[in-house]
Structure 1
Amino acid sequence: MKVPFVLVTKLKRAVDTSLKDITQVAIPSHFTIDRQLRDKYPQVKWILVENTSIAMNMVNKGEVDAAVTTQLSARYIIDHYYPNALNYMRLSDMPLAPISFALSKSDPELKSILNKALMSIPPREILQLTEKWSKMPKVQIETWNLYSKQFYLVIALAGTLIISSLIWGIYLLSEVRKRKESERQLEIQLQLKESLSSALEEEKNKAILATEAKSQFLATMTHELRTPVSSIVGFLELLDGHKLDDQQHREAISQVYSTAQSLLGLIGEILDVDKVASGKYQIQYQRTDVNKLILEICRSFEGITQKKNLSLNVNITLPNDIQVLVDPQALRQIVNNLISNALKFTDEGWVQVCVHQHRFSDYQTGIQILVSDTGCGISQDEQATLFTRYSQARSGRLQTGSGLGLAICKELVSLMHGTLTMDSQPGSGTTLTLNLPVEICAPQPDISSVPQSEPLALAPLSILIADDHPANRLLLRRQLQNIGYEVHEASDGDVAEKMLGRMHFDLLITDINMPGKDGITLSKDIRKSHPTLQIWGLTANAQEHMREKCLQSGMNLCLFKPVSLGTLTNELNKLARGRPVTPAISHLNVDVLNRNTGGQKDLLNELIQVFYREAKKDLAEAEKAITVGSFSKFRQAMHRLHGASQLLEIAELKTILVPVEAMDEIELTNEYCLSVLKSVRSILQDVSEEIAIICPADIQELPDR
């Protein structure tokens, strides 16, 4: 069966068979007459499309001028979709379009059957079938192609509406959140304003209290300094107004010297009051001869007792050789304050100090110190406030001072886990009882008391000493020479390491803290190459962790400055005899310098001169370090000065310089360093004056200060 090809155009358009007015024609890509049309009508632009429906839709929209299809398809589509829009014209000069069944080549039997069936159908029936198909109800053909643009438009519009709604919803939600956040911030600001108002009021009150505390602190300084100053003035009056024999004269000068030292110590202790309150005060327990300590304290008040015509009685029942573990500096400050208060408020009669061993329980013993007087006494109401800062009894307000002494005592006693109580009645005197639970120790042999005149059988040893401070090297060299050894010296760790590489030594004695390579690093470096070398460390930091650090670095012994002749002789004797060297810690008195120099006046004077010469250098380096802001160099200069001061037993310098060495560079502020420098200068000037009293004939040899 075959049907003719037709040209579909718009209804009102007149077209002839030459197609001279046609420029664009759509044709389905599967039509076989495509090539024939192109050859016959070369002026026409032929556009290939997928199917007839698309081609006729393009004609209806005006995208092309015409479309080529079969008559059967054109009539059906025009009748159903474009009845009043399109028409068609037969292409008479083109071959007919066959309508056939497409079969697979592998099915020849099916082809034969279909051909026979078609041949058996009369032409009239075929025409009826065709008419019936063309008149079928409307069927949707290629609806997507017909309405795709409208569908996309609807989708785009709907998407735009949805997105706009989402954006608007998000905007509204954001506005709500912003409003809530603004309300919350406003509430916070209101609360902050209230807090700031409260804080400002509180700071205002603190400022007022700070101003009052400043005035009270100045009065406190007077209170704490008056006792040693009064003692010094009393002894000076004795020296000036009384005829004393040589022995009494020397004793008076000695008491003035020791009291002046305690005065400097008290200055540092007063500044520790905030340290005690903040919990930073560290109790340093040491073996202490309490009998000797109490007697020294009482002797410092002899000038005051003679001036007021009072009797100061001391009753100590402790065995003479007993020692206890206690903080001697804290105990000295407590007893000083108690005796000072007793003498202050006693116009006639006596003050008595009693010390004895006391058992607090079946498992705990300690010492009990009672300070009694025949003074004016204190009422019960006033006693309740006496142990608070700046509090005074009525009689106390008639005296100079601000009431800080007993508060300091109470805090120090608490730190040592003791108690301080008062028993007093107006007009009947006062008794203060100090109970300290301490460990009673067996007497410790004093190795520094070994007679130096006794010859010791020491084997010959080659000794190298390393110290960056000339005064330290001078003293150590003279001590070793006094024992019988010649030594070699190195000014720092690097020089010592080089000398060990060139020469053989049996013993290295090195300072711990030196610029460049310190003693710890030096010990670690040389221990690998010198496994049998004896290494001793010297340090002014008398703490247990420092001793452990030295031993862990490979040292055989750690000694704490100052080192006495007896200690050196004893340890060298052990070393020469092949005995194990054990660490030893000595707590020396003020006269240790004479023992260390063997009582040689020339050596003592030389040591003092070297100390002051190097001290001037250290102070200059410290000043320079402050100027350039190098606090590490400042701390290093203070360490050198601290180590040298140990040779002269200057406890006040130790009190000031130990905290400096313990601080980090961040903690060392410019103001703090300047105050330390000022205090150090003042102490060194006082020390030089005291040395001038001890060695009056040689004071001109001291360097300028």
Structure 2
Amino acid sequence: MTRFKLNNRHTWAWLVNLALIVLTIIISVAGYKAYQRLDNMVSELQQNAEQNYNLLILKDVSFFVNEMETQIDAYRNNPKSDYIRNFNASLDNSQYLIDSLKTNYFERDEMIQLCDSLSDLIKERAKVQTKLTAINSDLLENTLEDLTQKIERMPQLLAEADTITPEKIGFFKKTGRIVTNALKKKENRIKADTTVALTQSEKLQTEIMSELAKAKEESMEKGSDLRFQLSTLEKESQVFQNKIIDVINTIESRELEEGRDHVKGIQDLASDTNREVVIFSALSSALLLITLISQLNYVGRNRKHQALLREAKKNAEELAEAKEKFLANMSHEIRTPMNAISGFTSQLLKNAQPGEQKEQLQIIKSSSDHLLHLLNDILDFSKLHANKVKLKQEAFDLKLLLNDTMRIFEEMADEKGLKLKTSFDGIPNFVLGDEHRLRQIILNLLHNAIKFTEKGYVELSASVQFNSGDQVSLRIAVKDSGVGIPKDKQVKIFEEFEQATVADEAKGTGLGLAISAMLVKLHEGEFLIESEPGKGTEMILILPFTLGERLKEDVKEKDENLIHLSGISVLVADDEPFNLKLLETIFKSHDIKLVQTKDGTEALAALQSQVFDIAILDVKMPGLSGLEVVKKVREGKGKNHRIPMIALTATVSEQEMKESLASGFDRILRKPFDENALLEMIRVETMKTKMKKSPAAEIVTEVAKFDLSGLSEMGDDDFVKEMVDIFKSSSARSIENLKKAIQLKIRESLKNEAHKMLPPARHLSATDLVKALEALQAKADKETFDELSIRIAEIETIYNGITAALKG
């Protein structure tokens, strides 16, 4: 039944998805068709707008045709040149508009022919109107010209008479001008006012009238012919006018008819588009509804999945918490004996004479240190998976690392009769990188090679594969003559808790190569394998490094063993007798008063009854834990409630570390601890207490050694005061920056701030402060941040002592 429901649900899911796909395709097609129709509608509207524009052009053509008529009539009544210019301009405008109309009628031959006809008719009518104007002008000019010629001849004729005088001649000229002006105004009147002799006037009048009568008769004969031509041309002009009107009306009717067709097409197109939009909207609504149903279904299933995920997360967190507790307990149990092994080995190395025994002790110390690192790797295995492990960049001796790593397996190889070979051709002496991580990779490879090789040899080789400037790519290979690895198993061996064969499971956990592969990836390198069953295996590493130089402080590595404590009382509380014995051995060479207790109850009693300078308490003890003891002491306000207290713990949990500091501990020291780190921590913490209790004179003698004489030689008192002020302000800022650098874990800032503080300290000849700053600058890239914080506390203590002495 469950399987049927599951299949049914899957079927519905497939149907819904299929419906969504089909609807999406249909909606896309419908939307595209609607878009096409809308585009066609816009095109039709644009075309209809062009037709309306054509009608406007036709109206303008009609206007200019009428304007031509108006201008020619005006010229016939008053022959001014402006009217002729306006006439010609109207003709040109009409032709230009007709050409524009022909452009709009592209590929419409019928309409183009109508436009050509209209253009020709207008031109012909313009010719007729021009001829009419010319005939009217000729009629008037001929009459005036004949009269003028005869009048101008009158003085000559009268001169032939006997009694003619100059005044009479002027009279005839005057009379001729008057007649000429009268005829031009189409008036046949003669205005003259003369006072000549009667006989001569009568004779002159007779001559004039006779000539006028002849001119009138001739003019009437010529005017009759011109009026006939004028009548003919006016009729012809009217015919052209009517044709022009007919052509314009034809074009307008065609435009209006096509406009109606376009409007009808647009209406039909709008109707179709509306139908398409309705279909598109309906399909979109259906798609939206199905999508909504699908989303609601998805949300419901998602909530169920989230509930399952929350439950799985809770289980994973509980498992991780249980794993963390298990690892913390395991770490505590392993670190406690490791502390004794590492500590006593260090004590034996102090007094061991050079030779085979010292070399064996050094191997034990190196192996124990590496075992501690491996323990940390197992605890931080989840960080490796998440790529949260950071590689250090420190200068180290590459050849020394390879040789020391090989020496660790000499005894193991001798027991199996194997020959160990090394070949380090042309490799650099010092490189920058993570020495421990490289050692860890090579140790894993060598251990596997010796473990799976029964006879023959194991060879460790190193060479430079690529070199560019200060960048170098190293080829490090481990080759053996062992059983070899089949091709189908070569990938499997790099998986966690995997072995090449079932028989190999008895020889290890299968974790070493997995960790090595992850570390090689962290180096951004390559891990290659060449192997053949029965002929051996070669594991090849290609790793990039930066060339480095040997630090000057390396040759003085043992100088820190000169730390000596004296005149202080120390309480030590630990339930492990090995740790008590180790601490007793460490403090044996120091002039201190040591009190040892085996549990928290004894430690609390001692702290309530005696005065100590410092207390070192194990966090986990029977009875009262170290956390409970420090809380009671701090809250009790007794004799030791302000003394520095150091937590000695084997835990690696950050939460437990925070709880230790919150309970009242001043410092935390992890097991196994370094002797020098412990002594330095005690020295700095007790120095702080002494600073608070001692007067200024003791501070100057103990921790605040300085000398202002050098500054006095360089300048006056004001100069010395100014330099001291600069030292105080700049050093105070630098100390604060050092503390921030520790919090942010920025090593480069530690070196920079120490470098800034050195010149002012040297000017004051503050030798202790200069030594402390130089040590911080040298160790900034090598020590842990806990160890570096101790150095910064020492610097601050010395600085406070100097400033207090300067005030005194």
- Structure 1 length normalisation: TM-score? 0.36
Greater helix proportion: 2
Q: Which of these two proteins has the greater Rg computed from alpha carbons? A: 2
